[in-house]
Amino acid sequence: MINVQALSKKFGDNLVLSDITTSVKKGEVVAIIGPSGSGKSTFLRCLNLLETPTSGTIEINGKNLTASKKEIHKIRQQIGMVFQHFHLFPHMTVLENLMYAPVKAKGTNKNEAREKAQQLLKRVGLAQKASAYPNSLSGGQKQRVAIARALAMEPQLMLFDEPTSALDPEMVKEVLEVMKDLAKTGMTMVVVTHEMGFAREVADRVLFLDHCILVEEGHPAAFFQRPESERARDFLDKVL
Ligand SMILES: Nc1ncnc2c1ncn2[C@@H]1O[C@H](COP(=O)(O)OP(=O)(O)OP(=O)(O)O)[C@@H](O)[C@H]1O
């Protein structure tokens, strides 16, 4: 589903991603881990062109994102994104937050969008919050709404940028549970995370970035038990 070839990204003279080549299969859950500042978020944001790569190519479902600026809008609609800081519309109710993009961007009929939104709220355990405004929700609830809102566009791929790192510890679990459930449905997911437990239990593959380089990638069981590189061993010694 995703094919990344020789992706590099600079901010001015600062090289943030260096020559990254990898791919993600349909239905795969990939966790991106690594030290702070290693380029994880930038890599994720390149996958839907929130950041423009300096060089290299990114294909999603065979379409070259970097070549087809015209198509990017259409391709983006198929990619859901969940950020660290929710980004819900504060002046809309939870239900309206979920209905907005399907109605405005896809032209979905309002009744259909409402029904789908209600189903999704049920799925993330928040059916009773449909009429609430985001400000009245806890961080964990806001993030579950953000996930449901991304799913309302029926994406083929979901990108998560440290979705639990702004949450109080007691709320991390409820969000990870929703993500685990989503993974079980066969959704293709790329997740930047500091939650090693999630990477170990839920991911099919781990990508380890350090200093702008994709140092190693592999199955979580192998990566966490026997990391190949010195850099990954050092990192795991610090975080586990
Ligand atoms: N818009 C930007 N302009 C300039 N530099 C940036 C920008 N975004 C990120 N950077 C720099 O790129 C580098 C990588 O940042 P990035 O956020 O991708 O790392 P990360 O691995 O996700 O870090 P963290 O785990 O702390 O979120 C950092 O040095 C950061 O300062």
Its pTM stands at 0.96
Question: How much is the pLDDT for 71?
Answer: 78
Q: Which two tokens stand for residue 190?
A: 């790329």
Q: Helix, strand, or coil here: 138?
A: coil
CA atoms of 13 and 49, how far apart (whole Å):
20
The complex's ipTM works out to 0.97
Q: What is the DSSP string of 81-126?
A: EE-TT----TTS-HHHHHHHHHHHHH---HHHHHHHHHHHHHHTT-
Distance (angstroms) between ligand 1 centre and the Cα of 193 equals: 14
Q: What is the DSSP string of 47-58?
A: TTTSS--SEEEE
192 contacts: CB under 8 Å, gap ≥ 6? 31, 32, 33, 40, 41, 43, 44, 160, 161, 162
Question: How much is the pLDDT for 74?
Answer: 84
Give the residue, by CA position, lying nearest to ligand 1 atom 16.
39
Per-residue pLDDT of the chain (240 residues; tens, 9 = 90+): 999 999 999 999 999 999 999 999 999 999 999 999 999 999 999 999 999 999 999 999 998 988 777 778 888 889 999 999 989 999 999 999 999 999 999 999 999 999 999 999 999 999 999 999 999 999 999 999 999 999 999 999 999 999 999 999 999 999 999 999 999 999 999 999 999 999 999 999 999 999 999 999 999 999 999 999 999 999 999 998
CA atoms of 219 and 171, how far apart (whole Å):
27
Give the residue, by CA position, lying nearest to ligand 1 atom 30.
37
Pocket test for ligand 1, best of 7, 9, 11, 47 (most atoms within 8 A of CB): 11
Angle between helix 169-184 and helix 139-151 axes, rounded to 10 deg: 20
Ligand 1: residues within 6 Å at CB?
11, 14, 16, 34, 36-42
Distance (angstroms) between ligand 1 centre and the Cα of 24 equals: 22
CA atoms of 72 and 87, how far apart (whole Å):
21
User: Could you read off the pLDDT of 196-224 as tens digits, one per residue?
Assistant: 999 999 999 999 999 999 999 999 999 99
Pocket test for ligand 1, best of 41, 161, 165 (most atoms within 8 A of CB): 41
Q: From edge to edge, which strands make up the β-sheet containing 79-82?
A: 79-82, 157-161, 188-192, 29-33, 205-210, 213-218
User: Could you read off the pLDDT of 48-80 as tens digits, one per residue?
Assistant: 999 999 999 999 999 898 877 777 888 888 999
CA atoms of 18 and 36, how far apart (whole Å):
16
Provide the H-helix boundaries in 133-202. Answer: 139-151, 169-184, 196-202
Distance (angstroms) between ligand 1 centre and the Cα of 7 equals: 16
Pocket test for ligand 1, best of 40, 162, 164 (most atoms within 8 A of CB): 40
CA atoms of 172 and 120, how far apart (whole Å):
20
Give the residue, by CA position, lying nearest to ligand 1 atom 31.
37
The torsion angles phi and psi of 20, rounded to 5 degrees, stand at -95, 125
Give the residue, by CA position, lying nearest to ligand 1 atom 5.
11
